[in-house]
Amino acid sequence: MGEATESFRSSLVVGHLSRWRWWVTKGSLSMLDQGLISGSNFLLAILLARWLTAAEYGAYALAFSVFLLLASVNDSLITEPMMVFGPSSYQSLKREYLGSLLRIQGLIGIVFSILLALAALITDHVGSSRILASTLAGLSVSTPCVLILYVARYANYLEQRPGRAATGAALYCVLALGATFAVYRGGSLSPRTALHVIGISSILTATFMLLRFQPKLRLSGRVTPGTVWAEHWSYGRWSLGSAALRWLPANITYSLTGAFLGMADTGALKALLNLLLPLSNGVSSFSILFQPYVSGVFAKGGERSTRAPTATVSILYIAVGTIYTVLLVAFRHPVFRLLYRGKFLHVSYLVPVVGAATVLTLGSYGAVMGLRAIQRPSSVFAANCAASVVSVAAGVVGTWKFGLRGLVGSMVLSGLTMLLVTAYLFRRRTKSA
């Protein structure tokens, strides 16, 4: 009996160690993937801040915030439902499912491209900002390409293969950074050409990734774009409402800065928020891995079983965010001098405030992940509503009264609202289960 008990305990220990090794390995590869993609974009943002004028960089920042709005809409209808239905409903039909998603993604990309081209024409005709009009024209070309890359990357996580995603990310890194430097040395760098480089690098990387999956683009009786779209729309319609609301707290700041303070201050705000990108991107890399896992936990154990993993994620994100922010505050002046050659140093005093806002926002990710896993997108919508109302109201008043200081302060209030509301809604949903 004693030997059997000891053997059982040993098997439990081995099982726990095996699971931890799996998570460490997959998490490291996921972080490498996200780090390469986001790190490339972060370096591009830094290089553009160094090489472009403040007004040009402000136009790039504003256009990029528009892209993030479109990407959030796309995420609601394509990638977010993909991470929920892919590991469950289409587990045995992944190639057919991916083919249907690519068809849908292509149509959405064309619609976005047309809308951005029209926005560029209107901006140029009005004459409010020729630089912004040119940048929007470049965005109309790059947006469909980047969105295809999103689908290709997320497809690797449906099979829990972040290593393949990391390989593609390395290719994107080389293409994007190398081409941008070549354009700069050639003397033709502008916000528009920078966006063209991002688009071309994205579509080449997506093609490389998708060749491994061999998605079935031909229509089949088992999985069709129509049936996939119906499921995605049924799930994502609440998230679609949340898309604009998710965009508001993080990106309305650029619009408010451009309207009240001008393009140069918009560029300064972008330079300030760039410093928090490594933190946000690192957290997002783990979120891509955690979301399918939490969805699987819900499928096996119900709503209450998701409370432990989501609590762990929230605590982990807050702890990591706090450490990162403390280090950034301590070394903010050397960082500004190193990254921007001393440009934008006048806004370095706002680093502690934007750091606090980011930590609060990251703290809400765990509850949001849990609400998505238990298929309660309406609750995520409600939380984003509350955060957006606070963001817009406090942002307008703060910018009008106190300039950039007031605007950044509104980000803290918005992040705190998101954290408190998501935690309350998730706890209430799972408590009643």
The token pair that represents 301 in the structure block: 């154990």
Whether 18 is in a domain gets the answer: no
Whether 2 is in a domain gets the answer: no
pLDDT band at 96 (very low <50, low <70, confident <90, very high): confident
Which residue type occupies 286?
F
Whether 56 is in a domain gets the answer: yes
Q: Which of 48-57, 278-287, 371-380 has the lowest mean pLDDT?
A: 278-287
pLDDT of 276 strictly over 80: yes
Whether 5 is in a domain gets the answer: no
Burial 173-199 (b: 16+ CB within 10 A, else e): bebbbebbeebbeeeebbbbbbbbbbb
Whether 398 is in a domain gets the answer: yes
**Residue 258 structural domain:** 27-431
Whether 9 is in a domain gets the answer: no
Whether 6 is in a domain gets the answer: no
Total number of domains in the chain: 1
DSSP 186: T
User: Given this model, what pLDDT does residue 196 score?
Assistant: 95
pLDDT of 17 strictly over 90: no
Q: Helix, strand, coil proportions of the chain in percent (round to 5)?
A: 90, 0, 10
Range of 20-29, 73-82, 104-113, 270-279 with top mean pLDDT: 104-113
Instruction: Tell me the average pLDDT of the chain.
Output: 83
CA distance 298 to 184: 50
pLDDT band at 39 (very low <50, low <70, confident <90, very high): confident
Whether 152 is in a domain gets the answer: yes
The token pair that represents 40 in the structure block: 């490339």
